[in-house]
Structure 1
């Protein structure tokens, strides 16, 4: 019954904290303000793109870790590298395709990973939490694009 338990508080808190850069930098990008980042040669879009790529790689790591923990097979390892590769390519894409690609990737990966709880590779709460977090993060990337 442990697999059906409530979402750990730390997962909720850290998940929400991880959304702050998405929402904050997307808001700055949409507003046209650079939030003072221009003084160091950066823009909210650049930081948002880099953060989105890092998080996309992290999402692939979830599948890799789940596969390793349950020895689920080669397919999961191959699928796990897709977010990193797509995110890397997205960072080389011109605006607005960089953020569009990352936004679609993050949204899609929230859905793709729903098979992990169904297959017993992750707790049910993780699938639900991932839908919410991926929804907000993906939307922020698409809005900023």
Structure 2
């Protein structure tokens, strides 16, 4: 059974802060604006794609860490590398498929990881927080695609 402890304020604040790049760069990409980034040779869509891939890899790291902390089975370690591999492949995909793949990946991983609190590998609050954050981040990626 998943542990019942309160959601740490730091997790909430940092989780919300992690959405800012998704929302900001998606808004710029949809608006067709570079927000001044063109002066630096950057494009919001490219930054969004790279950020999405980094976060997808981080999501795999959550499962890896949970497996290591609770001595879970080898299957958890194998599953944990899937987001990194898919995200890496998405970076090589042409637009709009890069953001589509990343969006679906982030959305799906929020659901896939719901087994972690059910199995007691992470606290329940993490499962709920992940659904919200993954839902918003995945939607931002898909809207920008």
TM-score when scaled to structure 1?
A: 0.98
The aligned residue for residue 41 of structure 2 is: 41
Q: Match for residue 55 of structure 1?
A: 55
Distance 1:43 1:6, change over 3 A: same
> How far 1:41 sits from its partner (Å)?
1.1
SS in 1 for 2:3: helix
What residue is the counterpart of 2:118 in the other structure?
118
> 2-side partners of 1:74 and 1:6: how far apart?
29
> What is the aligned length?
145
Alignment of structure 1 residues 62-77 onto 2, 5 Å:
62-77=62-77
Deviation for aligned residue 1:6: 2.0
SS at match of 1:6: coil
Q: Separation in 2 of the partners of 1:100 and 1:50?
A: 13
Higher relative contact order structure (alpha carbons within 8 Å, sequence separation ≥ 6): 2
Q: Which runs of 4+ in 1 moved over 3 A?
A: none
> Unmatched 5+ residue regions in structure 1?
none
Aligned counterpart, 1:26:
26
Where 1:35 maps in the other structure, the secondary structure is coil
